[in-house]
Structure 1
Amino acid sequence: MTIDIREAYRRALEDFGALVHRIAPGQWENPTPCADWDVRTLVNHVVNESLCVPGLLAGRSAAEVGPAFEGDLLGDDPLKAFDASVSAATAAAGDDGALTRVVRLPFGDVPGAEYITELFADALIHTWDLARAIGADERLDPELVEACAAWFAGAEDGYRQAGVIGDPHPAPDGTDLQARLLAAWGRDG
Structure 2
Amino acid sequence: MTSADSFTTRADAFAAILDGVADRWDAPTPCDDWTVRDVVVHAIETERDFLQRQDLDPGPAPDLTDLPTAWREHAASVAGVLGRDGVAEREYDGYFGRTTIAATMADFYGWDLVVHGSDVARATGQPWEVSEEEARELHATADGWGEALYSEGVCAGAVDVPADASASDRLLARLGRDPRWAPAA
| Interval containing the TM-score (normalised by the shorter chain) | 0.7 to 0.9
Decide which of 44, 59, 66 is 1:47's aligned counterpart.
44
Structure with greater proportional helix content = 1
The residue that corresponds to 1:5 in the other structure is 3
Deviations 1:34-80, CA, capped at 9 Å, x for gaps:
11100110111112134335434xx329xxx8xx97xxx65322222
Corresponding letter in the other structure for 2:161: A
Alignment of 1:163-182 (within 5 A): 163-182=153-172
Aligned length in residues = 175
Are 2:4 and 2:103, in contact at CA under 8 Å, matched by a contact in 1? no
Decide which of 20, 23, 34 is 2:21's aligned counterpart.
23
CA–CA separation in structure 2 for the residues paired with 1:18 and 1:173: 30
| CA deviation after TM superposition for structure 1 residue 97, in Å | 3.0
Are 2:161 and 2:169, in contact at CA under 8 Å, matched by a contact in 1? yes
Normalised by the length of structure 2, the TM-score is: 0.79
| CA deviation after TM superposition for structure 1 residue 143, in Å | 3.9
Structure 1: runs of 5 or more not aligned:
none
Cα 1:156/1:130, change in 2 over 3 Å: farther
Decide which of 93, 99, 103 is 1:111's aligned counterpart.
99
Computed over aligned residues only, the root mean square deviation of the Cα atoms, in angstroms, reads: 2.8
| CA deviation after TM superposition for structure 1 residue 22, in Å | 1.7
Q: Identity rate of aligned residues, in percent?
A: 23
Detail structure 1 runs of 4+ shifted over 6 Å in the superposition: none
CA–CA separation in structure 1 for the residues paired with 2:98 and 2:110: 15
The residue that corresponds to 2:64 in the other structure is 75
* Higher deviation after alignment, 30-39 or 82-91: 82-91
| CA deviation after TM superposition for structure 1 residue 103, in Å | 4.4
CA–CA separation in structure 1 for the residues paired with 2:108 and 2:32: 20
Are 2:3 and 2:103, in contact at CA under 8 Å, matched by a contact in 1? no
